[in-house]
Amino acid sequence: MTVTYFSVLDMERIFVQLCLLLLMFSTEVSKSDSPHQPKEVLVIGGGISGLAAARKLVNHPSQLYDVTVLEARKERYGGRVWTSRKLFKKPIGAETDLGATWINSKEKDNPILAITRKGEIETKTSGPIQLHVPEAGKIFTGDEANKIFTEVFSMMQSAVDRVKATGIDVPLQKAVEDEITRHTFQGDRAIITSILRNHQAVTKADYSAMFFDPVKLFGWNTVVVDGFDQVLDAIVSGLGTEKPLSVSLNQVVRQIHINSDKKKVIVRTKDLTQVEADLVIVAVPVGVLRNEALLFDPVLPGEWYKAMKELGVYQSQKVIVGFSEVFWPTDIGVFTMTTPEGQEPFIQTWFNMQNLVGMPFLIGTLYDEAAVSMEQTPVEELKQQVIKVLGKLFGEDLVSQYNMTTLVRSQWTSDPFTLGSGAYPRTGNVAGIWDTLSPPVCPYIYFAGEHTSLDGMIGAHGAYNSGIRAAEQIINGRCERELKRKQKTKEEKEKKNKKKEDKSPKKDEL
């Protein structure tokens, strides 16, 4: 027998080598088999829906998600939330908001209001509305104005209820006209019908009455005093102990490619770079998706493209004007006026910023054709149009005494990263559209954005909630459950077929 003796030095060397081998083995296990390895998630689009999704994942206590937001714009995130501070001499207030401005205070559990409270961000309510009827030389305020708008709301609700009762969709425009013919007016018929016919949803010939909710129109009376971008900054920077989000600007995504062999998503950008991830959340505006500016490889299911094309895309713009001094009533929050029948409405409604931020600014809103043409109107011509409209409201002689110091406008229609202002339900749409647009295309692609749900088409809080929904689909294992369900269905089908084969009579062997 041969006996081998080891020195103390040899024993130490062997011990070190064994430790190294164990360390290498444990490292490989952690890389490949550990259930706690973070998933790489890319959020395509840094609007409020994408940022909400990223925040939800980053805040998850498991810390299982490594999230990066890819935003196409070079200078900012936020999408259609844009506080344009660079375009103003004293950019300190809500008068710089060219995108989202108003928060619906009547919306139950509004997440935007929750953020402002948690972040101690100041908000204010707009104040009372004043209705002008220039053709009749009348002005209504207080209870008189409230009575008129209450009747308008009642008629719109009645028109929608009648359509829903029949179960047959018609354009909201037709539903309102039918209601006008049958309604017993309490107030001035001409004024009420003018307000109804010039409502931005009613003016669209194909807006669905079945999916229109008048209740969602009321409660938009709160602004973030120092600009809506404070809400975005709170989401990105984090509140309390929340970690900041990782947002990468100037990332124009052109293609989302699924590599099935590697089980990875490859995101390719305009500058020919590519990034790998385990999952992606597509939070891109409906106008961009409909324009197919973002390509999917392989292509998404045909019903997804069909649903996307069936939605309507609306246009809205803002015009922000400032003057040397205030010449309008400072105790009124909103000025609106009727438009004579047959005349194209142009900036009927103006919001008073003086009583909110102490600055002599008014914000006007435009919709559809007027919004589109406004983008192409030369600045000096647009100034004259604004002066003319304000002259109808407050008197030409009065307005002519004051100098317009500022005029800034949004351009969401031509903006390549929005190509419109948002989505709306068209006549004939069915609820199945959102059943198609809201679920993920498993196992890699998830969707967020106001267009992905009917409830999402109600402003910033609707878009925000769609991002939360997409993140929860990931956290709750939506695709994993779907895969198990399909596998179970497949196994049951195979088992059933096998039983049929076993029961079928066999031919005698020769």
**Residues forming a β-bridge with 247:** 69
507: pLDDT strictly greater than 60? no
Looking at the fold, whether 220 and 127 belong to one and the same domain comes out as yes
Range of the domain at 170: 123-224+316-409
List all residues 6 or more positions away from 416 whose beta carbon is below 8 Å from its beta carbon: 288, 293
Compute the average pLDDT of residues 6-23.
50
Instruction: Examine the domain organization and report whether 324 and 392 are in the same domain.
Output: yes
String of b and e for 478-487 (b: at least 16 CB within 10 Å)?
Answer: bbeeeeeeee
Q: Is residue 240 part of a domain?
A: yes
Other beta carbons within 10 angstroms of residue 500's beta carbon come to: 9
- The neighbour count for residue 406, using CB atoms within 10 Å, is 15
What's the chain's average pLDDT? Answer: 90
- What is the b/e burial string over 362-392, where b = at least 16 CB atoms within 10 angstroms of the residue's CB? bbbbbbbebbbebbeeeeeebeebbeebbee
* Residue at a domain's end among 409, 434, 454: 409
SS (H, E, C) 178-197: HHHHHCCCCCCHHHHHHHHH
Distance of CA 306 to the CA centre of its chain: 20
Q: Is residue 26 pLDDT above 50, yes or no?
A: no
Residue 18 lies in a domain: no
For residue 385, pLDDT over 70 is answered with yes
Residue 30 has pLDDT above 70, yes or no: no
99-145: pLDDT as tens digits: 999 999 988 899 999 999 999 999 999 999 999 999 889 999 999 99
Whole-number pLDDT of residue 1: 43
Task: Indicate whether 206 pLDDT > 60.
Answer: yes
What is the arithmetic mean of pLDDT over 290-315? 95
Q: What pLDDT shows up at residue 91?
A: 60
Place of tokens 């009455």: 209
Structure tokens at 426: 């068209």
Report the CATH number that the domain containing residue 355 is assigned in CATH.
3.90.660.10
**pTM listed for this prediction:** 0.88
Predicted confidence at residue 501, as pLDDT, reads: 73
Element (H, E) at 439: none
Q: What distance in Å separates the CA atoms of residue 208 and residue 159, rounded to the nearest whole number?
A: 12
Report the pLDDT value the prediction gives residue 484, as an integer from 0 to 100: 87
Number of H helices, E strands in the chain: 16, 21
Q: Is 508 left (phi over 0), alpha (psi -120 to 50) or beta?
A: beta
Q: Let me know whether 354 and 388 are in one domain.
A: yes
Give the chain's end-to-end CA distance (angstroms, integer): 68
Cβ partners under 8 Å of residue 168, min gap 6: none
Q: Which pLDDT score is estimated for 25?
A: 45
Residues 248 and 370 occupy one common structural domain: no
CATH number at residue 296: 3.50.50.60
Which of the four pLDDT bands, split at 50, 70 and 90, describes residue 87? Answer: confident
**β-strand 361-367 against 349-352: which pairing, if any?**
antiparallel
Together in a domain, 187 and 253: no
| pLDDT tens readout for residues 349-382 | 999 999 898 889 999 999 989 999 999 999 999 9
Residue 98 in domain: no
Chain position carrying tokens 């407050």: 394
- Specify whether 169 is located in the same domain as 300: no
| Last residue within a domain, chosen from 409, 439, 466 | 409
The pLDDT score that the predictor gives to residue 31 is: 41
Question: Looking at the predicted structure, is the pLDDT value of residue 331 above 80?
Answer: yes
Shared domain for 357 and 268, answered yes or no, is: no
Same domain, 368 and 393: yes
- Domain for residue 110, yes or no? no
Q: Which pLDDT belongs to residue 29? A: 40
pLDDT digits (tens, 9 = 90+) for 308-317: 999 999 999 9
Q: Which of 36, 14, 33 lies closest to 25 in space, CA to CA?
A: 33
Domain-embedded: residue 69: yes
pLDDT confidence of residue 160: 97
Banded model confidence at residue 36, pLDDT cuts 50, 70, 90: low
Cis peptide before 345 (omega within 30 of 0): no
Residue 23, φ and ψ in degrees, nearest 5: -65, -45
Closest alpha carbon to 280 in 444, 442, 437: 444
Same structural domain, 367 and 305: no
Q: What percent of the chain has pLDDT over 70?
A: 91
Q: Which residues contact 390 (CB under 8 A, 6 or more apart)?
A: 350, 362, 399
**Gap between the Cα atoms of 71 and 251, Å rounded:** 5
Cα distance between residue 188 and residue 186, in whole Å: 7
Q: Looking at residue 497, what is its pLDDT?
A: 75
Domains in the chain: how many in total? 2
Give the pLDDT score at 9: 47
**Sign, Cα dihedral of 285, 290, 291, 292:** positive
Tell me, yes or no, whether 100 lies in a domain.
no
What one-character DSSP code corresponds to residue 299? P
Q: Quick one: which H or E segment has residue 102? A: strand 102-104
Q: Where are any strands of DSSP class E within 345-486?
A: 349-352, 361-367, 404-409, 422-424, 445-447
Same domain, 199 and 324: yes
Between 19 and 337, name the one with better pLDDT. Answer: 337
What digits encode the pLDDT tens for the residues 427-463? 999 999 999 999 999 999 999 999 999 999 988 999 9
- Mean pLDDT, residues 411-425: 95
> 164 and 146 in one domain?
yes
Mean pLDDT value of segment 53-80: 96
Residue 471 pLDDT class (50, 70, 90 cuts): very high
When pLDDT is averaged across residues 317-321 and rounded to a whole number, the result is 95
Task: Evaluate whether residue 105 is within a structural domain.
Answer: no
What dihedral do alpha carbons 344, 346, 348, 349 form, nearest 10°? Answer: 150
* Residue found by looking up tokens 């409909």 in the block: 290
Residue 46 belongs to a domain: yes
| pLDDT value for 415 | 96
- Whether 134 and 189 map to the same domain: the answer is yes
